[in-house]
Every structure is written in structure tokens, then in C-alpha cells.
A and B are shown apart, each in its own frame.
Chain A
Amino acid sequence: MDFAQNLSNAIILACIYILMAAGLTMVYGVLKVLHIAHASVYTIGAFAGVVIYTWVGNFWISILIAMVISGVIGVLIYRFSYFYLLDAPRTVPLIASIGLFVMVTDLLQKPFLMGPYQRAFPVKGAGLPRIETPWFSMTSKQVLILLVTIMLITLVYLLLTKTRTGLSWQAASLDREMAAAVGINLNRVIALNFFIGSALAGAAGVLVGIYNNSVFATMGDLPSYKAFIIIVLGGMGSLPGVILASLLLAIVENFLVASIGYVLPRDSIAFLVLIFMLMFRPHGLLGRE
């Protein structure tokens, strides 16, 4: 009973991690930039979602619009910062990214945007049923998260592996210059990459907001950093790696917390995992080289 329930909770947590980290790993794949401002996009997505939900009252419309807004913001971030820094040493875009993250988080806390408080995001489950089995149960919110994640990740996976755009994305992530030399429009590929990755982060923000029934300006702090651990675990730039690593981290977190309680703060587990990985398998679980 406990085991199955813990596993089911862990899978829901992993869904959030996957959505959050997928965009990061795509950006890293092409640009080799640690895109810390991705967490700002996540928070903006959640904020947009809750605002639109209070207007229209429909979950599907609000998550869709929130994703489009997040995607556009992601593209703007690329166009007005990283675009100019692609040939600079890697720490330069990294520092710019940190600056953006801190700036957006601070601005969001101002009264004319979100203010320093939490907002409720009262979606009950968008009409989805609750799942009850003898071994575990899933609330309708959890079913919603699982469903949305599977849908989005399947879409992105098909896009990346089955379409021309996806192939040019893969080419660009292998070798940017070579890809440009064979006639791939790099700017379009990268912009699209940012759009999709940021839209996924926006979706993650909306789902987390609904799951915890709260949206606040600093909600991106921990996910930003955990998503990085996941892409390191998953071997930078690989989507299957991200899925495996998200599941692994979520399971370890859930089971350790369930068995040893709060002796160690939950979030430090991720940190220890990161240090361990950096020391012994710096190219990730599935990484080569």
C-alpha cells in the first residue's frame, strides 16, 4: 500500500520535473548555455495561468494561453540576450541569465504584478476522475498532471524525432556551425527551441500552481536548481535522459523522506545527488564521452 502510494506520488512529482527540465535540456543542447532564467519563465507561466483562469474559468484555455505567453517570453529572452552572447566565453551568457532571473523575480514581487504574497489557483481537476485502486489512489489533480505531461512530452518527442524541424534541431545541437553550413536556418531553429522549451516550463508552472493551490514570485527558486540537477543526471541535452533522471530524483526524494522523515531537508537530497554525480559521473547517467 505505502510503497505503491509513494511510487504514484513520485511519478506525479517526476512529471513536473520532466516538464521543467525538458526545456532546459533543449536549450543546453543547442546553445550550451545554462539557462537559469528558465525558472523565471516557469513563474511567469504560473502567474499568467492564474490570471487567465480567474477571467475565463477554464483550465484548458488558461494553460494553453499561459504556454503561448511563456513561449514568447522565452524567445524574447533569447533574442535580446543570448543572441548577442553566443560567441562569448560560457560564463558570460550564464551571468546574464542569472541577472535576468534575479531581475524578473524581483519585479514580479512588486505590487503592480504579483506582489509579495501567494495567490490561490483553485482548479479542482478539470472534470477528470479520481483514481482509486486497492494499492494507491490518485486525486483528480494528479491525474490531470499525468495526462498533460504525457500529452506534451509525446508531442515534443514526435516533433523532435519525426519532423524536419526536429531533425534540424538535432543537427544544430550536434554542431551549430556545421548545421548552418548545410543550410539550416539556425536562428529559426533556436527560436523555435526556446519557444517550445519555455512553453513546457510555463505548463509546469501552471500545473505546480494548481497542485499546491498557490502561485508566488519566488516559486521558481528551487525548481530552477533542481531542473539543472536533472539535466546533469540525464546527461545534458538528452530528452530520454531527462525523463529517467526526473523519475529517479522524484523516487529517491519521496522514498527517503518517507523512510527517514525530515532529518535532512528534502531539497538537500538533490544537492547531495548533484555533488555525487559531478564527482563520479560528470557526463550523466546516460551520457557518453
Chain B
Amino acid sequence: MSAGYALTILTFIAIYISLALSLNILTGFAGQVSLGHAAFLGIGAYTSAIMATRYGYSFAVDFLSAIIITGIVGIFLGLPSLRVRHDFLVLATMGINFVVISVFKYVDFFGGAMGLVNIPAPTLFGLSFRGGLPYFILTSFYALVTLAICWYISKTWSGLAFHTIRNDEDAAASVGVSSARYKIYAFGISAAIAGGAGSLYAHFLGSVFPDTFAFVESIAILSMVIFGGVGTLRGPIIGAIILRLAPELLRFIQDYRFTLYGGLLVLMMLFQPMGLLGDGSWLWQRLSLLSRSTKNNITEGG
């Protein structure tokens, strides 16, 4: 494996860590399963691609616009969540994926099935992030910022609010937590982060095509969150790393990528609904026991 190829894989892993973490805000923290996360990735990617190629905006401008526009779409999609419980809402998130793809495909402004090409490498503060190491650093930085946002949310009042909404909406309302406001907030933030990831994605590949952002891609992102451990910070990160890396290391898996993702979802639901490293999962319990006993040993020894 050449160094360039390894860096490409690492860059994708960084992008998918941001995506999995952002979906986790919605699915893990606020408890709203989303089947349309790739649509947000796509909206961010297309926003950046169009602004950069058609209108010649700089990277900073198109990147921020991707975040803002995708966030607004996310808020719009969150609106039905005010009226219906999550299993119905899932349908709306599934729908947005089909609609976004068909708009990209059939509306000429978005380049149709041929997509958009010649998206320039980004330049920030006079530095060019062309391919390889610089781009990996850029995407890792974005993944770290995402992680910091998620950490901040989980440690503050809003994290608690999300937790109560996920467990019992009526109880949350009775103690004065407006589930509507927090759900919309989760939709907005989650979509906005995915939009930023989309912008990085478009600038990295230099081209965007509608089918890249199809329904199965949303399922791939969802599998990362579920497989790793929904609702935790470590889970989506581990999920993204393992599920992006496995197809690269084993050729067999490359051909059966979506069989693997789908199969993992089923198996996880049957045997480990909390995911590999989620709270209360088999592996996580073993790991925490292990770390506790090592600590005890140290104190006993000292």
C-alpha cells in the first residue's frame, strides 16, 4: 500500500468520523433514527461544488455556506418531529434522501447524472491543502472539532435535556424541557456538521455525483454509529474506523460492503443492541471491569 493511498483512506476515515459523530447527535443523543444522513452530506458537497466552480467563491466562503445551508435544511426536516414520534419520522428522513438524489439527478442546475467536476483544492490563509498529508490534517482537524462539539453537548445542560427526551418525552416536558426545541436543535447541528463534511468531501475528490449520496450511504453511516455504540462518543469513532478500514484490508469485504453493513445492523439488533462499545454492551462491561481491577491492583500494590 503506497503512502498516498494510505493517506486517502485515512482522510476518508476522518470524514466518516465526523459524519458518524454528527449522526450520533441526532440518533444517539436525541433518539431520532435518521435514514437520510447522506442527503446532508450531499447537500453540503453540492453547495460547495457549485459555489466553487460556478461562482468562484473561496474555500472559506463555500465551506461556511455548506454548513449553514445544510443546517437550515436539517431544521426544516426536523419540523415534522414536533408532531410525530420517531418511527414515523424515520420515513421523512428516508424520503429526503430519495428526493435530494432525484433533484441532483434531474435538475440541470446540479449537473444531472454527470455530476459536477473540477472542484479546486481548498486554500485557507494562503495555504493550499492539495491532496495527501495537508488534506488529512484538515479533515482530522474537522473531526476533532466535531468531537469537541459532541463532547460539549454531552457535558452541558443540553446533553441532559437530550437524554431526558430520548428516555421519556412526556416526563421531559413535565420538568420543563421543551422536546420540540431540542429536537430541532439536534436536527440543525447534526445536518450542519454533515454539510461541512460534505464540503470537505467534494473538495477532496474534486468531483461530485448524485449516486454517491444514495440511501445505502445513509445506511453505511448509520451502521457505523450502531455498530460502534449509539449514544457514546467512542462508539461512532470506533465504528467509523472499523467499518471504513475492513473493506480496504479484506478484498472480499469490498465486494460485499453493503451486505456487511446490513448484516451487522441485523446481528447487532439481535444480540448487542447497544453496539460494540456502547454503555452496557458485553465488550464495554468487560473492558470497564478490566480497567477497574487494574486500578485496584495499583492501589493495593501502592
A177 within 8 A of B: no
Q: Are A95 and B33 in contact (CB under 8 A)?
A: yes
Q: Shortest distance in angstroms between A25's beta carbon and chain B's nearest beta carbon?
A: 14
B256 within 8 A of A: yes
B300 within 8 A of A: no
Cα distance A225–B99 when bound, in Å? 11
Q: Shortest distance in angstroms between B150's beta carbon and chain A's nearest beta carbon?
A: 20
**Chain B residues positioned under 8 Å from A270 (CB to CB):** 95
**Interface core residue of B83, B256, B263, B265 (most chain A CB under 10 Å):** B265
A135 within 8 A of B: no
B298 within 8 A of A: no
- Chain B interface size range: 35 or more
**Chain B residues positioned under 8 Å from A221 (CB to CB):** 98, 215
Q: Are B269 and A268 in contact (CB under 8 A)?
A: no
Cα distance A96–B92 when bound, in Å? 18
A158 within 8 A of B: no
| B31, B91, B273: the one within 8 Å of A92 (CB) | B273
| B86, B92, B273: the one within 8 Å of A275 (CB) | B92
Cα distance A94–B27 when bound, in Å? 13
**Which of the 9-residue segments A12-20, A102-110, A144-152, A205-213 touches chain B?**
A102-110
**Chain A residues positioned under 8 Å from B86 (CB to CB):** 90-91
> A278 and B80 in contact (CB under 8 A), knowing A102-B216, A265-B103?
yes
Q: Are A91 and B33 in contact (CB under 8 A)?
A: yes
Q: Are A102 and B219 in contact (CB under 8 A)?
A: yes
**Chain B residues positioned under 8 Å from A232 (CB to CB):** 88, 91
Q: Are A225 and B95 in contact (CB under 8 A)?
A: yes
**Chain A residues positioned under 8 Å from B92 (CB to CB):** 271, 274-275, 278
**Chain A residues positioned under 8 Å from B255 (CB to CB):** 110
In the complex, residue of chain B having the shortest beta-carbon distance to the beta carbon of A96: B269
In the complex, residue of chain B having the shortest beta-carbon distance to the beta carbon of A283: B84
Q: Are A34 and B91 in contact (CB under 8 A)?
A: yes
Cα distance A66–B123 when bound, in Å? 57
Interface residues of A in 75-103 (CB under 8 A from B): 81, 84-85, 88, 90-96, 98-103
Q: Are A106 and B88 in contact (CB under 8 A)?
A: no
In the complex, residue of chain B having the shortest beta-carbon distance to the beta carbon of A100: B266
Q: Shortest distance in angstroms between A225's beta carbon and chain B's nearest beta carbon?
A: 5
**Chain B residues positioned under 8 Å from A229 (CB to CB):** 91, 95
Cα distance A84–B270 when bound, in Å? 7
A279 within 8 A of B: yes
Cα distance A229–B92 when bound, in Å? 9
Q: Are B83 and A279 in contact (CB under 8 A)?
A: yes
**Chain A residues positioned under 8 Å from B265 (CB to CB):** 95-96, 98-99, 102
> A34 and B98 in contact (CB under 8 A), knowing A99-B269, A265-B106?
no
A228 within 8 A of B: yes
Cα distance A170–B256 when bound, in Å? 41
| A103, A110, A267, A278: the one within 8 Å of B99 (CB) | A267
What mask results when residues 118 to 133 of chain B are scored 1 for a CB within 8 Å of chain A, else 0? 0000000000000000
| A103, A107, A268, A279: the one within 8 Å of B80 (CB) | A279
B222 within 8 A of A: yes
Cα distance A279–B94 when bound, in Å? 16
Q: Are A107 and B219 in contact (CB under 8 A)?
A: no
> A278 and B88 in contact (CB under 8 A), knowing A91-B33, A102-B258, A103-B258?
yes
Q: Are A267 and B98 in contact (CB under 8 A)?
A: yes
| B31, B87, B91, B261: the one within 8 Å of A274 (CB) | B91
In the complex, residue of chain A having the shortest beta-carbon distance to the beta carbon of B105: A265
Q: Are A85 and B259 in contact (CB under 8 A)?
A: no
Cα distance A265–B35 when bound, in Å? 20
The 3 closest A-B pairs by CB, nearest first: A99-B265, A103-B262, A102-B262
Q: Could you give 8 example pairs across A and B, Cβ below 8 Å? A: A34-B87, A85-B269, A96-B270, A98-B35, A102-B258, A228-B91, A265-B99, A267-B102
Interface residues of A (CB under 8 A from B): 34, 81, 84-85, 88, 90-96, 98-107, 110, 221-222, 225, 228-229, 232, 262, 265, 267-268, 270-271, 274-275, 278-280, 282
